[in-house]
Structure 1
């Protein structure tokens, strides 16, 4: 069986639709990631965006980070290693950013718990309690 040398093998190239299907991300989200420099695309002769095969792992990793509460701007500041390897462990360079995000989430939870307590009190007493 004849095999092509690795350096002659064609590179996997995906359309935005194929990338969307493989990752579950919407075409709109993929465009957004691309426009913010999180993905690298090239334009085909027909004007369509084309993505390398590694974009599948990158999109999945971006989705994971967004689901953890990071913004596109946060992710743009992360080292490339965070985007290139699906499920990559956090790099030391972003530990502070992660701690800041966790603190923000904790503040949101505390605020929601205060609101919940006030609403429960309102329902049980029939009147809105004074602001603490």
Structure 2
């Protein structure tokens, strides 16, 4: 997730709604998205979630109630949330936030399919990490 591409609308507002657990982002093209923290957490752009290449993604579970305890700006291109479960290694570019917001329905569908295929429940606890975790 480098930065903002020319065709990606620029961010105009960002509001963290702790009680409803959504990040509201408004863009210059008039689009406004309410992105659930859970969606952000299960699709974090970090290597811990995405792996280091195709097929290495780590299916996230037990994130329905996750919160964001801190939201730091990262240059002019995005934000870095610290989630209530301690995850803090994903940098969400404006482009990636626009993608998450605009593709929510498809992403939720894909997430639910991956859960079914893995035979796990959305609220299942995450398994313990193996010895060679990425930075954590």
Both proteins in one fold, TM over 0.5? no
TM-score of the aligned structures, taking structure 2 as reference length: 0.25
TM-score, normalization by structure 1: 0.25
Between Structure 1 and Structure 2, the one with more helix by share is 1
Structure 1 or 2, whichever has the larger Rg, is 1
Higher relative contact order, chain-length normalized (CA < 8 Å, sep 6+): 2
